Chains A and B, each alone.
Chain A
């Protein structure tokens, strides 16, 4: 094939951090108007490869060709000038500015006297949004927008700078289903306009829905590049994980739930703020309860109220039949409840601290000797957690910030499971983790339940929810509208209709 068709070509890229090789001789190319999926396990080097293309890091060896011409990309500005735009998940917008101000940040249209013409940016932002065929108010403050709008704003920002290639790193990780669908339609339209998209995702259905070709990285090496018509899902999964895994997302009936037994947790008429209204349910030992619902339906807020973060306005919470008050997370933890939060970076981790310190944070009581902490014991405990959860980290003392996204998620989960809670609430536990790890996490959830613990899983991925839940509660506008035993849910579609309240 002719290299001139390639808008981007990366040849033999290698990169190490502090002597640890992360990318080894990786080649990658993107054609005009194609969606190219980039897949691989957690820590395989996907984000690093893209950051090299984006000018955030520089490769140790290899070259980058843009439109067939060797181009040095030494800074983010270089990448922008070369027509490469990136939709970051976490940090590319300034919450205190408006949508239009963010889109034209550092490239503001200037009016008379060299002063910023904010009206012109609003007008041009509107043009970009109408080309994207989405409706976003450019004057809205970004802080008040939901994730889906952040993303649309980021895409608009890249397009306003004439990006020809858009890099999307796990763009649907925090989107609700209908929002993801809207994003896919947008990607289709962008493709039609000749814009190329590099799409990183751990979700196979998305890859098949969108991508023309796929490249798989494993442990920093290029494994294969192929049109999606030429590879089967099984081959892809095997390529990513390095071994065959079967039936990871199928439901396995477990008979540990004593349906008539006394509930571990009982919630009666719980109301907290605007998003949790008159919620009642019971969780039995050994049961896995799935919470389904649209984004914003109040599932996260329910979890927060149960964990003592949000104030409970009325209603009661009973643990093993005894009324308790969850005034603070500390009380909840003491009562044996653990919450694995949704936004791992903001709520789950101290990013600058080491993996070990993060893991031990909820466990300080266990490693205390007198008034002091027992260093050796802490080290032992954290190493065992790292091993048990297969966290990919060079050394327990490295800051969590340097871990890949999926490995950060593993640290959050490991951290809370270390406390050995009786009731575990997981909010989107597999966001951003690779397929291999996902099935490990689901297995772990099943194991915990089989050991008699109560588990509540919040997930926007229906296959995952259906794979583990014994019972699914459908949440809408802060209330539970359906309570369906797993055996009555025939398939994903049934659940989807239930969630939409049909």
Chain B
């Protein structure tokens, strides 16, 4: 940062008239919304005969992005705190498996608790290793990615675990609340809570401060180790809920559920304008980042691209968007 930009002879900051506000307005932060609208319009025109704009298809986009959205809300905290969590996808898988197994053994409540326990345990281990031992979160959670998926595969002998409990399935993903799909309600709740906590609570502010300048946060009396622990714990817990949403929607637990979601979630967070270097986070941006990814997936399927082509186009679009949103 340059520290040589004052020439005014007295201590004044330039008045915030409309012109300067416009100039200062960091459009990169809003690139996600522009990108979202552009891509939406593009598909709306291109795919109007394939039913892109039908209410059913639009609801489908929401439904398909719900788990990514939920995971990405937790990921926003982690990235805003200048850490990363690569284990979320496999935590979701492990959680779906544990929920399914506990559900068939002991019933609804133990099932849900088992799922949450996965997030609690994995998140705590991640958090403790990062904050107490100072191991980079990239390495800790990369290791955990393998461990969680391995455990899920091991305890199920790679077999899917069917879930026959209708209450669970209705509650977690298969059901509707009135006309609104349950999955949409779930993501709305996570986004709302996530946004308020990040912007309007001391905890959220301390996460941003820790990510923005850890030393400064430390010298202000913020326990940055605890904050780092907490964001990784939150991320694990949120991922375990996402795992239950997979389980409810697909009415089974399976170790593959959620695999690769960490990359989609990270992409959603970065597309949404959260700084990869920490210190700045936007949950609403994350929501739109996730929706944009969902939109692209959906559009490419409707356009008839096969899955290998989809992957290529998706990757290119993400790189392009991140390049546009990058810092100067």
Contact = CB atoms under 8 A, between A and B. Distances in A.
Interface in A147-199: 147-150, 152, 174, 176, 178-179, 182
Given A94-B279, A134-B11, A148-B11, A116 B200 contact: yes
A258 interface: no
Interface stretch (A9-17, A290-298, A315-323, A439-447): A290-298
A94 B227 CA distance: 15
Give chain B's interface secondary structure class: loop
Contacts of A139: 16
B6 A295 contact: yes
B13 A95 contact: no
Contacts of A368: none
Contacts of B10: 135, 182
Interface string B236-255: 00000000000000000000
A150 B200 CA distance: 24
B209 A105 contact: yes
B217 interface: yes
Given A147-B3, A343-B3, A92 B219 contact: yes
Interface of B: 1-7, 9-13, 16, 24, 196, 199-202, 204-206, 208-209, 211-213, 215-222, 275, 278-280
Contact of B6 (A114, A140, A148): A148
B3 A95 contact: no
Contact of B201 (A97, A114, A145): A114
A116 B2 contact: no
Interface of A: 56, 75-77, 80, 86, 88, 90-97, 101, 105-106, 108, 110, 114-116, 134-137, 139-140, 143-150, 152, 174, 176, 178-179, 182, 294-297, 300-301, 342-343, 346, 477
Given A96-B279, A106-B202, A296 B208 contact: no
B222 A143 contact: no
Nearest to B26: A141
B13 A135 contact: yes
A94 B13 CA distance: 18
B322 to A, nearest CB: 18
B3 A108 contact: no
A28 B208 CA distance: 38
Contact of B3 (A86, A97, A146, A152): A146
Contacts of A182: 10-11
A134 B6 CA distance: 15
Nearest to A113: B200
A106 B205 CA distance: 8
Contacts of B24: 144
Contacts of A134: 11
Greatest chain B CB density within 10 A among A93, A96, A108, A148 is at A96
B221 A91 contact: no
A116 B9 contact: no
17 contacts: A75-B221, A76-B221, A77-B221, A94-B208, A95-B279, A96-B213, A101-B205, A105-B209, A116-B204, A135-B12, A140-B13, A144-B24, A149-B11, A179-B6, A182-B10, A296-B7, A342-B4
A247 to B, nearest CB: 31
A97 B222 CA distance: 15
A363 B218 CA distance: 36
Contacts of B1: 95, 143, 346
A52 B149 CA distance: 48
Nearest to B13: A137
Contact of B209 (A88, A97, A179): A97
- Which of A116, A148, A294: most chain B Cβ within 10 A? A116
A399 to B, nearest CB: 15
B279 to A, nearest CB: 3
Contact of A146 (B5, B202, B208, B279): B5
B13 to A, nearest CB: 4
Nearest to A77: B221
Contact of A149 (B6, B201, B218): B6
B5 to A, nearest CB: 5
B123 to A, nearest CB: 24
A479 to B, nearest CB: 13
Nearest to B3: A147
Contacts of B217: 94, 105
A114 B219 CA distance: 24
